[in-house]
Structure 1
Amino acid sequence: MATEILSTADSARCDRFAVENGVSSQALMQRAGEAVSDAIRARWSMRPVLVLAGPGNNGGDGFIAAAALRDAGWPVRVMLLGDEARQGGDALWARSVWKTGLVTDSPDTRLKGGLVVDALFGAGLSRPLSGEAAAWCKAVDEASVPVVSVDLPSGMNGDAVPVDGPCVAPDLTVTFHRRKLAHLVDPYAEKCGEVLLCDIGIPDGWASSVPPIARQTRAPVWPSAGAQTDPVAHKHRRGRVAVFSGGASASGAARLAARAALRAGAGLVTVCSPPSASLVNASRLDAIMLTRWSGGEDTARVLTDLRAQAAVLGPAMGLGEATRDSVLAALATGLPVVLDADALTSFEGAPEALFEALHARCVLTPHAGEFARLFGREDPSQNRLDQVAAAADRAGCTVLLKGPATLIATPGQLPWINRHASPWLATAGSGDVLAGMVAAGLAAGLSPHDSAAGAAWLHGDAGRRLGPGLIAEDLPEILPQVLQAVIARHRRESALTHLLAHGS
């Protein structure tokens, strides 16, 4: 799977690289248009098609798709947007557009097809749609027919910078070479429908001069997946995790995080319980250890006694000074720490006190609301990935912003985006499970960046396997299946790599 995510400008640089290395612009456009045609034919039965073509290369892709569909026997008509398109503009296909018999000016044919191809504007759009383009966008939305967008829905910016205006909402978006940020981050990704990535023949070597802005997560090399090959493996070698509990009526979140840490591979996990919750925690724990903890300065003592290698603070700990004191005490030890939920919200209004105490071995795991409480409201001039990267720089540690697209940023490292997930993960306690999994990676020696990215993928895979009806308690229990599948996948990849390198 291609994991690199490119900016709009760098996607254009890849096209120029191809031209400089012997692939014509016409050939790239031909392959793109044919890919759109192939995708349509693979998903829908033959029906009338109306292609809305803009003045640039995006319109050229659409026109080639129209010609390919016509050659396959589909009834196709093309509507051209604006005088520039009618006069030729910069598009290579415009020289012969009027000779094909596909172009129509008749309003009676607009949007009467069984399928619409949106080839109006590509990823570089930086202003709202207006005039005829906006009217077409509205008509597409009201037509109640399948819609396929070329590269990106018209009206959307490829770098996920907010554009205040109408936007086509397709069933399928066909993009080329590498995905752009808007294909992956919210609220744009949900408007793209299914996103299909197609190879159009950019030659090898492009990556040396076109760095990605981020990567998509993939199945991680997770520590517990390799434990079976460790001849001296034992529980302490696999990592010790401490999870701090809330009071008697709010202790379940800590138990969820603790069980997730254990299932994710930590060798020994301990719930640090206030006296009020000791009985309820003791009655609900078996393989997980339990120790008494009185809060505040006692946090450092507990971590030292447990010889903890990672800690989780925040899930249902409660809001206020007591939680702030415990967080600051844990951070002062220098141990890897995962901060979630109440550990973050307790610093609302005074985030600098937290930022001054954080260090590079920490991972913050906020959802959107907690993120806003610490780092402020979204900047409308920035995309969400840039905002998370700026937050990581400000905090001086890894920030994992939870959501349909989970964003992971660490100062000085390439961000990760995880969309390997399920909407059914939007349930109480799911984030507590993720926090425990991140801590398991930290305790086993992974970097904060790799722990966060790997745990996000595994957590998402667990959600995909469980599907509708899952609750947070289910997630740790399916992790063995998730990890076994990761082991099998890496074995297959290793065998294939060996075969390619050495033959049979």
Structure 2
Amino acid sequence: MSSVEIHQMRDCPTSAQMGAIETSAMKDGVTTGAEMMRRAGRALARAALEASGAGPGDRALVLCGPGNNGGDGYVAASALREAGLDVQVSALGDPRNLRGDAALFVEEWGEAIAPLDPEALGQGPRPALMIDAVFGTGLSRPVPDVLPKAFAAIRSAPGAGPLTIVAADIPSGIQSDTGALLAPGGAEEVLAADLTIAFHAAKPGHFLEQGPALCGTLEIASIGLSQDDRTPPLTEPHEGDITRLVAPGAAEAAKWLAGWARPEPGGHKFSRGHVLVLGGGPGKGGAARMAARAALRTGAGLVTLGVPADAITENAARLDAIMLSVVETADDLGGMLEDDRLSALVLGPGLGIGERTRAMVRVSLDARRATILDADALTSFADHPEELFDRLHEDAILTPHEGEFARLFPDLGLKSRDMSKIDAARRAADRAGCVILLKGAATIVASPGGAASLHPGLYERDTRWLATAGAGDTLCGILAGLAAHAPDGRLHGAAECATSIHAEAARSFGPGLIAEDIPDRIPDLYRAHGL
């Protein structure tokens, strides 16, 4: 069991969806509730032993809750006891009130179960490992006051040795659908895990809000459910209601990237698509140049940078393979768009905020090409977003960061306990009538009708070096390079693929990354995947 298994799991279900998956599996005779609980608890115990290095005679503490997550904990306690550890179990609520499968494993444990008493938990030597099996993915209300007090007592217990904390499915106090904290005092009242074992699949809360900071390392454990065909592989369009996790392993990425980026035999530059990037005036061209270069490196056959006349000389001094054209006004742009071979447009990076940009956007959208709107193109409509929404269509993609998203969709709060970032992006896509690529460490791609994908730039796919000026501009270019030759109706897939290329190119460079480095890493990335 390893965090690399995240690559193999295509679903990222909510709590309700996970419950439906389990119910369906039991109804179809694939497994039973008791077998799933036994697998989950034993996986917890194995992971805890491996992570902590604990062995016979070492102390272990298992905190169990009043539901099925607690049942997982009782199984883990029994498995740790079998491994020779001195195991103490503390329960929130009376374990005699448990019913169903959890009650079965309380009986199997068969030893004393102490109440979750903060004072008692602060006594005696610190254990070598602790399993948090109090609340799992179904938690939707604030945790009881006793829980943060118990966590504080465990933290302060005497002892010189390290304490390894392993969470069952998700640390208690994190809402698994949104990543929001359900502890009144904030993150200090949640017991941050060193390792979180997610059962069957990662959940949205592992990647959103406070989840990544409190989960430690994330690993996936099988509980006997088959990975069925509810969500198609990345090589097929995503139309399911369960969020698709875009975290391809090497073999899958090779096939996926080949479908998007490898030129067709016998093709020519126009068959690979012609991208037009609109740029700003003198001294404002860096963002558009980076987007243009990224589009060309990604695979567009031609890229043209359209700028005002007084910016031509500056850009000509910096560009070779990228063509230049004078675009002063929306009428100039309209004239260029009479050429049907222009297949994708990028508006926003360094373009400027105001009526000129709004006019350019209107003309671009009326031309019905693949149109990527970012940065200034979005901010220019912040005071009247409905004007933008009325013109958007299925061949458009909005690529806001969270601040730009909040300006366009002020009622879709990204910090709401009741609405996840995924839900907000879905609602925005329905309202705008086009694909939304909502950037962040966890990037969301959403399409009208509910299809949503999550690209996790977290855990072993950490992309923290992308937090640098111009990184979003290169993402626009990568997206345009793919969208320029994307089949009709496949812009959601282009956005998924572009996000992955962007992240992997950045990860291959690592510390010290600046945005200009990203396009030049793409050829090595393609080569590594056999393109």
TM-score normalized by structure 2?
Answer: 0.85
Give the direction of change, closer, same or farther, for the CA distance of 1:168–1:303 in structure 2 (3 Å limit).
Answer: farther
The partner residue of 2:145 within 128, 131, 135 is 131
- For residues 67 and 453 of structure 1, the distance between their equivalents in structure 2, rounded to whole angstroms, comes to 43
Q: Show the counterpart of 1:29.
A: 37
Deviation at 1:235, TM superposition (A): 1.0
SS in structure 2 opposite 1:51?
strand
Which residue of structure 2 aligns with residue 403 of structure 1? 440
Which one has a larger percent helix, Structure 1 or Structure 2? 1
Q: Deviations over 1:326-354 (max 9, x none)?
A: 11111111111100000000111100111
Q: Is it true that 1:197 corresponds to 2:220 in the alignment?
A: yes
Q: Which residue of 2 aligns with 1:18?
A: 25
Q: Is the 8 A contact 1:63 1:93 kept in 2?
A: no
Q: Read off the aligned partner of 1:394 and give its amino acid letter.
A: R
Q: Over residues 42-75 of structure 1, what are the superposed CA-to-partner deviations in whole Å (9 max), with x where a residue is unaligned?
A: 2221153211111211111112112212222233
Residue 484 (str. 1) matches residue 527 (str. 2): yes
Shift of 1:2: 1.3
Shift of the alpha carbon at 1:196? 0.8
- Residues 255-404 of structure 1 correspond to what in structure 2 (within 5 A)? 255-305=289-339, 307-379=341-413, 380=416, 381-404=418-441
In 2, the alpha carbon distance for the partners of 1:350 and 1:110 equals 63
Q: Is the 8 A contact 1:246 1:274 kept in 2?
A: yes
The Cα of 1:281 is off from its aligned counterpart by 0.3
Instruction: Tell me the distance in 2 between the aligned counterparts of 1:19 and 1:206.
Output: 17
Q: What are the Cα deviations for residues 223-265 of structure 1, in whole angstroms up to 9, with x where unaligned?
A: 56431xx331211111100001111111000010000000000
Corresponding position of 2:4: none
- For residues 125 and 308 of structure 2, what CA distance do their matches in structure 1 show? 65
Deviates more, 1:163-172 or 1:73-82: 163-172
Distance 1:385 1:45 in 2: 37
Given the superposition, is the C-alpha separation of residues 140 and 432 from structure 1 closer, same or farther in structure 2, using an over 3 Å criterion?
Answer: farther
CA contact (8 A) 2:62 2:132 kept: yes
Kept in 1: contact 2:278–2:307 (CA 8 A): yes
8 Å CA contact 2:207, 2:442 repeated in 1: yes
| Structure 1 gaps, min length 5 | 489-504
Structure 1 residue 475 corresponds to structure 2 residue 528 = no
Q: Which segment is superposed worse, 192-201 or 250-259?
A: 192-201
Cα 1:225–1:487 change in 2 (3 A) is farther
Cα deviation for residue 95 of structure 1 reads 4.5
- How far residue 11 of structure 1 moved from its aligned partner, in angstroms, is 1.4
Give the 3-state SS of the residue equivalent to 2:39 in structure 1. helix
Following superposition of structure 1 onto structure 2, how do residues 64-463 of structure 1 map, counting pairs within 5 Å?
64-83=75-94, 85-90=95-100, 91-93=102-104, 95-96=106-107, 99-100=110-111, 106-107=120-121, 109=123, 112-140=126-154, 145-160=163-178, 162-165=180-183, 166-203=189-226, 207=230, 212-217=241-246, 218=248, 219=253, 220-223=256-259, 225-227=261-263, 230-305=264-339, 307-379=341-413, 380=416, 381-412=418-449, 414-420=451-457, 421=461, 422-446=463-487, 447-463=490-506
Q: Number of residue pairs matched? A: 483
Per-residue displacement from partner, 1:8-47 (whole Å, max 9, x unpaired)? 1221222223333063322211111111111122222115
So what's the TM-score if we normalise by structure 1?
0.90
Tell me the equivalent position of 1:502.
none
Contact 1:80–1:86 at 8 Å: present in 2 too? no
SS at match of 1:326: helix
Where 2:381 maps in the other structure, the secondary structure is coil
The alpha-carbon distance between structure 1 residues 32 and 212, as it changes in their structure 2 partners (threshold 3 A), is farther
Give the superposed CA RMSD: 2.3
Q: Secondary structure at the match of 1:92?
A: helix
Task: Evaluate the alpha carbon distance shift between residue 205 and residue 298 of structure 1 in structure 2; reply closer, same or farther with a 3 A threshold.
Answer: closer
Q: Say whether the 8 Å CA contact 1:296–1:326 is kept in structure 2.
A: yes
Contact 2:180 2:205 in 1 (8 A): no
CA deviation after TM superposition for structure 1 residue 205, in Å: 5.9
Range with bigger deviation, 310-319 or 36-45: 36-45
What CA deviation, in whole Å up to 9, does each residue of 1:436-492 have, x standing for no partner? 11111111124211111110011111111111111101100010111223336xxxx
The change in CA–CA distance for 1:98 and 1:76 in structure 2 (over 3 A counts) is: closer
- Compared CA separation, residues 458 and 310, structure 1 to 2 (3 A): same
With over 3 angstroms needed to count, the CA separation of the structure-2 counterparts of 1:225 and 1:360, relative to structure 1, is: closer
Cα distance in structure 1, aligned partners of 2:350 and 2:330: 16
Paired AA for residue 32 in structure 2: S
Would the aligned equivalents of 2:122 and 2:156 in 1 still touch at CA under 8 Å?
no
Report the CA distance shift for 1:457/1:206 in structure 2 as closer, same or farther (over 3 A): closer
Question: How far apart, CA to CA, are the structure 1 residues paired with 2:181 and 2:51?
Answer: 30
Over residues 256-312 of structure 1, what are the superposed CA-to-partner deviations in whole Å (9 max), with x where a residue is unaligned? 000000000001001111112111100000111111111222211123358310010
Contact between 2:280 and 2:352, CA under 8 Å: does it hold in 1?
yes
**Structure-2 change in CA distance of 1:320 and 1:138 (3 Å):** farther
From 54, 57, 62, the counterpart of 1:51: 62
Give distance in 1, aligned partners of 2:124 and 2:327. 70
**1:483, 1:41 → 2: CA distance?**
39
Distance in 1 of aligned mates of 2:287 and 2:340: 20
| Paired position in structure 1 for 2:12 | 5
Asked if the contact 1:223–1:444 (Cα under 8 Å) also holds between the matched residues in 2, the reply is no
> 1:473 and 1:411 mapped to 2: Cα distance?
33
- CA gap 1:438/1:72 in 2 versus in 1, 3 angstroms: same
Matched residues in 1 for 2:124 and 2:296: separation? Answer: 59
Cα separation, 1, equivalents of 2:517 and 2:122: 55
- Partner SS state of residue 283, structure 2: helix
